[in-house]
Structure 1
Amino acid sequence: MPRVIPTDSPDDPRPKPPPEPDPGECCGNGCDPCIYDLYNDQLTYYRTALAAWLARHPDA
């Protein structure tokens, strides 16, 4: 029988979105990668992790 993990379980917490960079964190010099590029990568990872978590916790 599969183990059921409650939605509030510390073993499987809901992913948290990454903090958005402050406008002053970008220098505007076209850095590669820019702070916003890194943020977008983290946001993509978060959305994937959240979708997987929601699939495990459909009643959340």
Structure 2
Amino acid sequence: MSKPKPLPPPPREPDLDECCGSGCDPCVFDLYDQRLERWRTRCEAIEAENRAAGHDPAGDTGR
């Protein structure tokens, strides 16, 4: 059995001082939220691939 695919690291959350507070659209925190959602979606896909390959996510410590 092959090893399960590892999950990518989560995106880095911006520091509070990275937001200029002037109402930019998009704000650095909006961009972070978008990256976080894409990361979650990718992790779900990898976990589904790992399950399909017979890997038990509860027993894997690659997280």
Check whether TM > 0.5: yes
5+ residue gaps, structure 2, are 58-63
Give the secondary structure class of the aligned counterpart of 1:57: helix
The total of aligned residue pairs comes to: 53
TM-score w.r.t. length of structure 1: 0.77
**Structure 1: gaps of 5 or more residues:** none
Distance (whole Å) between structure 2 residues aligned to residue 42 and residue 29 of structure 1: 21
Following the alignment from structure 1 to structure 2, what is the Cα–Cα distance between the partners of residues 6 and 37? 35
Q: What is the root-mean-square deviation in Å for CA atoms of aligned residues?
A: 1.4
Identity %, equivalent residues: 47
Mapping for residues 1-60 of structure 1, pairs under 5 Å: 5-7=2-4, 12-58=5-51, 59-60=56-57
Higher RCO, 1 vs 2 (CA within 8 Å, ≥6 residues apart): 2
Moved over 3 A (4+): none
